[in-house]
Structure 1
Amino acid sequence: MSDPAIRAFFDEPTNTVSYLVWDKQTGRGAVIDPVLDFDMASGEADTRSAEAIMTEAEKEGVSIEWVLETHAHADHLSAAPMIKARTEARIGIGEHIRDVQKIFRPIFADETLKTDGSDFDRLFSDGDRFALGHLEVEVIHVPGHTPADVAYKIGNHVWVGDTLFMPDYGTARADFPGGDARQLYRSIQRILALPDETKLYLCHDYKAPGRDEYQWETTVGEQRRTNVHVHEGLSEDEFVAMRDTRDAGLSVPKLLLPSIQVNIRAGRFPEAEDNGVHYLRIPVKMKPAARG
């Protein structure tokens, strides 16, 4: 099988990397983890980041057949519906998105939220395979960051979502509802069991201290030897203890509330009101002193 053509698109406001991936022989392609530009302060959404991907696809003669989400992101909103509307691409995600929907429906007290995954066009199971032109895409279930995380493997190339970061930065957090550090460790071991030369493409980079440039490509061998959180010789219990301690000190992503509500609907906002405005919910937990 030939290698796919790959273009990466980095969104600095959310530190997110999206990818355009295609079969060079047929021009059939997919977009992985596209970003919808969203300003929390004004409530304005824009598609300039997704437009850049669409422009590149047109330039390269790529027919986008899939929008592939590695998971329901908590730090950016998905532009999947915009790409689907332009291309008729199908939106795919791991089948355990249903678990994530069931977790968050009561948190947002949203009776309109479906919990059967039907907002998505395809729910992938572990080991599923599908064609992208002459390329074959394999789905690997890698829970831990969320229950629904999947990686997409094409030959010697794997898009791992938030499971791993660059070796000098470490691994994903596991403290969101449904997250599990022990599951995350085991998922990472599945990825690290691949051949050393396997190329890994990440969903985020935050520039580890001492590094001047953003990076989002690494290899299994590099991760196994030098990842600061999960290198060879680190036990599962040691990883869980580290991850639990680290997660306890992390702040909440600033776009978590809008991102989760939109992304578990396959990037769709709740229906607009008569004034044409879409509204999202903000759960407010009052501390005793604030209740009056």
Structure 2
Amino acid sequence: MPAVLEAPAIGKRRHPEYNSSSSDETDGIDTMAKGGSQLSTMSHSGGSPMRPNVHGIFHHPTGSVQYIIWDPASRACAIIDPVLDFDRRSATFSAVSADELLQFVGRNELKVEVIVDTHPHADHMSAAAYLSGRTGSPTAIGERVAIVQQMWRERYDLPELPVDGRQWHRLLRHGDTITIGSVELAVAYAPGHTLASIILYNEDVAFVNDTVFLPDVGTARADFPGGCAEELWQTISAIVALPKQVRLMVGHDYPPQGRTAAWECSIDEQRENIHLAGRSAVDFVAWRKSRDATLPLPDLMLLALQVNLNGGRPPLKARDGRRFLKVPVDCTHP
């Protein structure tokens, strides 16, 4: 079994080395990577496994990256963070992006073993339920999604929404393993950006959701309900402590002018992230909170969450059979 991130217990809101009253505020990401929590490499029996293949598909409207990871030997694969298209003007869903994933699976003769959302997304709709219906494959998400469901059921006034995670086939716990042929991915609780974020990783690759972006873009916000800047720092510190050969796959890209979209970087590159380099834990947390206070909500957030917290399904039907997306007013923060 893999060793996993030593994450804080639910409700713990401070990194163990974050101390606002400390006179020593020089500890930056280098020190934290050495002394903080770490994601350890997985062990395998029977020799070295074949390196998994990873294919990313960029969703231009939202800057999201959808992934397919597969075992070259068995052709078993997992789909990570798929996008369901939504047009705000007509309030219609479509599966153009999700079907692109299925086309790639078909062309490469892959078998979908599982469809995973790394967290309840606030900037796009999840295509997990759609893809599960097309492939017959199970869906999965971090188990703390149930807490996020509880937080938002009241905000949306959706008393009929189940808040125990039953919308997914599997609720992933800290320390679980996802098996894709001969490829294993460990599950680590990765709070900060959201309360329910998870990282999937092994000795070759880590899917780090929205925790960090490419080094020239920065890090995720931490001001959504359940988010926490202190915990974000801890999670990032664990990521950059991974072995140098691990490929980091980020959940979004917002490329600066002149650069095409990309989504993979190395540990060494991530340590030079523009939001991290030269900042101590105290500096980062203060800066992150100040910056987050100036950011508008993601364009689709209030619409997307009620879909994504229902497993990627459209809203429940009203009494007359129609479906409605609700927009709660002035209730995005606790």
- Normalised by the length of structure 2, the TM-score is 0.82
User: Separation in 1 of the partners of 2:231 and 2:172?
Assistant: 19
Percent identity, aligned pairs only, is 39
Q: Give the equivalent residue in structure 2 for 1:168.
A: 216
Q: Which has more strand, going by share of residues? A: 1
Q: Does 1:31 align with 2:104?
A: no
Q: Give the equivalent residue in structure 2 for 1:70.
A: 118
User: Separation in 2 of the partners of 1:271 and 1:35?
Assistant: 20
Q: Does 1:283 align with 2:328?
A: yes
User: Separation in 2 of the partners of 1:237 and 1:211?
Assistant: 33
Q: Give the equivalent residue in structure 2 for 1:81.
A: 129
Aligned partner of residue 78 in structure 2, secondary structure: strand
Which of residues 170, 182, 206 in structure 2 aligns to 1:134?
182
Structure 1: 5+ residue runs without aligned partners? 287-292
CA distance 1:127–1:211, change in 2 (3 Å): farther
Aligned partner of residue 208 in structure 2, secondary structure: strand
Is the 1:71–1:97 Cα contact (8 Å) retained in structure 2?
yes
Kindly tell me the number of residue pairs found equivalent between the two proteins: 283
Which of residues 266, 270, 274 in structure 2 aligns to 1:223?
270
User: Separation in 2 of the partners of 1:96 and 1:189?
Assistant: 21
Q: Give the equivalent residue in structure 2 for 1:11.
A: 59
Q: Does 1:268 align with 2:309?
A: no
Structure 1 residue 212: Cα displacement: 2.2
1:43 maps to amino acid: A
User: Separation in 2 of the partners of 1:285 and 1:216?
Assistant: 34
Is the 1:142–1:150 Cα contact (8 Å) retained in structure 2?
yes
| Higher RCO (C-alpha under 8 Å, 6+ residues apart) | 2
Q: Deviations over 1:26-77 (max 9, x none)?
A: 1111110000000111101100100010011011011111111110000000
Aligned partner of residue 162 in structure 1, secondary structure: coil
Which of residues 171, 174, 197 in structure 1 aligns to 2:245?
197
User: Separation in 1 of the partners of 2:167 and 2:224?
Assistant: 22
Q: Deviations over 1:250-286 (max 9, x none)?
A: 1111100111101111101223347654212111349
Q: Give the equivalent residue in structure 1 for 2:301.
A: 256
Q: Give the equivalent residue in structure 2 for 1:214.
A: 261
Structure 1 residue 126: Cα displacement: 1.4
Aligned partner of residue 260 in structure 2, secondary structure: coil
User: Separation in 1 of the partners of 2:322 and 2:205?
Assistant: 41
1:37 maps to amino acid: D
- Normalised by the length of structure 1, the TM-score is 0.93
Is the 2:203–2:243 Cα contact (8 Å) retained in structure 1?
no
Aligned partner of residue 161 in structure 1, secondary structure: coil
Structure 2: 5+ residue runs without aligned partners? 1-48
Which of residues 139, 152, 169 in structure 2 aligns to 1:121?
169
Q: Deviations over 1:163-196 (max 9, x none)?
A: 0001011100001111000000001111111012
User: Separation in 2 of the partners of 1:130 and 1:116?
Assistant: 21
Structure 1 residue 206: Cα displacement: 0.6
- Please tell me the root mean square deviation across aligned C-alpha atoms, in Å: 1.5
